[in-house]
Amino acid sequence: MKVLITGGAGFIGSHLAEACLNQSNEVYIIDDLSTGSIRNIEHLKSQKHFHYVIDSILNRPLTAELIDAADLIFHLAAAVGVRLIIESPVRTIETNIKGTELVLDLASKKKKRVVITSTSEVYGKSSNEMFSENDDLILGPTHKARWSYAASKLVDEFLALAYYREKQVPVIIVRLFNTVGPRQTGRYGMVIPRFVGQAITEEPITVYGDGQQTRTFLHVKDAVSAMTEIVKNQEAWGEIFNIGVDNDISVLSLAEMVKENLNSNSEIVFIPYEQAYEEGFEDMRRRKPDISKIQKHISFYPQFSLQDVIADVAEDQRGAGF
């Protein structure tokens, strides 16, 4: 089978490319390297069934050619990371919405299978203990840039479901909750690679806010395993699935775990949100997925612990010269 991965040189995309190659697929990726990196796919370039193109998915003729040749498309190309989203809201909105609309339009010509990657950010300011796929979604005001990402991803979901219903494009939407692991950068606000990098270099570990906000963290290998399995289930077409783990941890406890696991002497310091991001920045106190729906469709039981994640990220960063 021929698989196309948009954003394939990114953190998740590169792991997905590996998994698809290991399943004997012909893999094509396209990435403009705006947040991805050639380093992420360097080890794949020598493989006979791996092909890569450095360009934007907004290059319609090129993307059309790639989609026409593919049997399955994983659409991951997007602006990612809280810091990038706040600093470049125009790029966030244009990249996410225009890119997704183009992929769906081209895929609709020959009813290509498409997996759209969405995000837990779409749940917004909900105060639910756990988030399930049919919950109401509560976003903040439009003058706060951090909500532009969630809004753009919601439009992506509406587009995907519209193409499924109106044009019979076989689409699956996956909402990823904090996916972490090797090759992820802390440059755009991702918390575990930032904490690990600070711990390794004995710099202060910077906790934003009071550290009592809780999050879940899924190893990228578990996320990729779920994505490659759910796509095989025809009953999943036209559906939305949370992908994550259902045990959460406070950000302060995470910082303490990173420090302890890496035997670091780093001091843990607190940084106000206004200093880390922007004046009036809003964060969610809790974000925990209900994963019962995907477990009804596939046997999804994450295999990697948070300690595994920290160890793998640390090994990767040390190998990169941190």
Catalytic positions are 149
Q: Are 214 and 249 contacting, i.e. CB atoms less than 8 angstroms apart?
A: yes
Output the CA angle 283-75-292, nearest 5 degrees: 60
Q: Would strands 50-54 and 26-31 be described as parallel, antiparallel, or unpaired? A: parallel
Distance, CA of 320 to CA of 316 (rounded, Å): 6
Please give the distance of CA 104 from its chain centroid, rounded to a whole number: 19
| Cα 298 from Cα 170, distance rounded (Å) | 18
- Please report, as a single letter, which amino acid is at residue 108: S
Element counts in the chain: helices (H) and strands (E): 12, 14
Residues whose CB falls within 8 Å of the CB of residue 251, separated by 6 or more in sequence, listed in order: 191, 207, 208, 209, 211, 212, 213, 214, 215
Q: Show Cβ contacts of residue 174 under 8 Å, excluding neighbours closer than 6 positions.
A: 115, 116, 117, 118, 226, 227, 230, 240, 241, 242, 243
CA distance 110 to 132: 32
